[in-house]
């Protein structure tokens, strides 16, 4: 991945004005990459003397609670004091991290769009970004937004500007978005970045333990239930899906983030090509899709579930019942296979 020198210079010029007010926003259901890139960039901006407010539409997973600085992240849905709305209204710069369209902010979209004077900067690794940004660092080939952020901080300030707190935040995003460095887009540059973050103070076993060994008993039991009772195989055992209704999740004391990683598990089966997870919410069903090799779930999500993402990790929504959603998925998989995509 090679950053555009012109774009870096344009961002440097934007940041040259003293005392800027910046809002840093990331997507609904923020994950380690969204939170990590936000916290790291906030640290970099504050070191320049700027104000920086990190905002997420809804709560991040509880297994990220340990991250230094996360208590300063404003959760829009729980923001009774209006801090997020004020920060966005007063912002000179709005940084959009780890999403490719303002619509991904859902309940936060209108509040962000109300500020028509702030310059918007996109920093993201998803396919097909929307127009409407004043500056875009869009690199779909990058493994994570945190890796793009690392390269950006390196280009602007040098790696010596990365504090231990920033390094830990960046490492969380790199680690979680690559499945602990097991998925695609694993480049020599990524591992050089990881080496630098370790030099800046990241203790890898501690960070891994904080993220992956901090689940609740309810989550463990929900995972067992989902695999044993809800996983179904189709297409001669090459495609899988699971579904969870709200009452099933409540039974196990579900918390935000508890289902993270469930959709990946079917891919541990030797001949599996594609996996889906259907998670019921009050007004819709969230669809998560994963694949291996050349099976393009970004294409599948766009074609059948009005979604998108990456080639091997994508998602969408369904406003049908769970039964109708699953039936549509089964039909769509069959059609996808008949068209030669599976």
pLDDT by residue (tens digit) across 329-338? 999 999 999 9
Average of pLDDT values for 104-130?
Answer: 94
**Domain coordinates of the chain in residue numbers?**
5-212, 218-338
Give tens-digit pLDDT for 154-167: 999 999 999 999 99
Q: How confident is the model at residue 249 (pLDDT cuts 50, 70, 90)?
A: very high
Average of pLDDT values for 70-92?
Answer: 96
pLDDT for 104: 87
Average of pLDDT values for 247-265?
Answer: 94
The reported pTM is 0.93
Q: How confident is the model at residue 92 (pLDDT cuts 50, 70, 90)?
A: very high
What does the angle CA 63 – CA 44 – CA 77 come to, to the nearest 5 degrees?
A: 45
Whole-number Å distance between alpha carbons of 100 and 98: 7
pLDDT for 1: 87
Give tens-digit pLDDT for 297-322: 999 999 999 999 889 999 999 999 99
Helix (H) or strand (E) holding 318: strand 313-318
Architecture of domain 218-338: Roll (3.10)
Phi and psi at residue 56, to the nearest 5° = -125, 150
Q: How far is CA 85 from CA 54, 70, 90, in A?
A: 12, 19, 9
Quick check: 184 pLDDT over 80? no
Average of pLDDT values for 110-118?
Answer: 94
pLDDT for 44: 98
Quick check: 183 pLDDT over 90? no
Whole-number Å distance between alpha carbons of 196 and 112: 35
Quick check: 11 pLDDT over 90? yes
pLDDT for 80: 93
pLDDT for 128: 87
In the chain, DSSP finds a helix count (H) and a strand count (E) of 13, 12
pLDDT for 159: 97
Average pLDDT over the chain, rounded to an integer: 96
Q: Is 101 in a helix, a strand, or coil?
A: coil
pLDDT for 185: 87
CATH number of 5-212: 3.90.1640.10
Average of pLDDT values for 175-182?
Answer: 94
Q: Is 329 exposed, middle or buried (0-12, 13-18, 19+ CB in 10 A)?
A: buried
pLDDT-above-90 percentage for the chain: 94
Q: How confident is the model at residue 21 (pLDDT cuts 50, 70, 90)?
A: very high
Lowest-pLDDT choice from 9-13, 88-92, 129-133: 129-133
Quick check: 328 pLDDT over 80? yes
């Amino acid at each position: 991945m090679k950053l555009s020198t012109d774009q870096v210079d344009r961002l440097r010029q934007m940041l040259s004005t003293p005392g800027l007010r910046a809002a840093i926003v990331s997507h609904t259901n923020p994950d380690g990459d969204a939170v990590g890139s936000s916290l790291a960039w906030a640290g970099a901006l504050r070191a320049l003397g700027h104000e920086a407010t990190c905002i997420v539409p809804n709560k991040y997973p509880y297994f990220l609670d340990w991250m230094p600085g996360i208590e300063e992240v404003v959760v829009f849905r729980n923001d009774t004091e209006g801090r997020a709305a004020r920060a966005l209204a007063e912002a000179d710069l709005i940084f959009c991290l780890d999403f490719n369209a303002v619509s991904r902010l859902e309940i936060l979209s209108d509040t962000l769009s109300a500020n028509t004077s702030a310059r918007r900067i996109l920093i993201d690794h998803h396919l097909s970004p929307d127009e409407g940004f004043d500056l875009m660092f869009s690199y779909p080939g990058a493994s994570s937004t945190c890796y793009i952020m690392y390269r950006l901080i390196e280009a602007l300030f040098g790696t010596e500007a990365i504090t231990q707190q920033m390094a830990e935040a960046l490492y969380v995003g790199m680690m979680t978005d690559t499945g602990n460095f097991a998925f695609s887009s694993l480049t020599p540059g990524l591992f050089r970045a990881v080496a630098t973050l370790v030099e800046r103070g990241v203790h890898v076993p501690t960070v891994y333990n904080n993220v992956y060994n901090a689940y609740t008993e309810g989550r463990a039991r929900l995972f067992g239930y989902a695999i044993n009772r809800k996983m179904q195989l189709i297409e001669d055992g090459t495609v899988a899906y699971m579904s969870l209704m709200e009452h099933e999740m409540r039974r196990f004391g579900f918390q935000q983030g508890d289902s993270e990683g469930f959709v990946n598990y079917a891919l541990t089966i030797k001949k599996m090509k594609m996996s889906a997870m259907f998670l019921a919410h009050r007004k819709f069903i969230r669809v998560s899709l994963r694949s291996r090799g050349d099976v393009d779930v970004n294409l599948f999500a766009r074609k059948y579930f009005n979604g998108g993402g990456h080639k091997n990790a994508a998602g969408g929504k369904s406003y049908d019942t769970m039964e109708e959603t699953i039936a549509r998925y089964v039909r769509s998989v069959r059609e996808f296979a008949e068209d030669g995509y599976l």
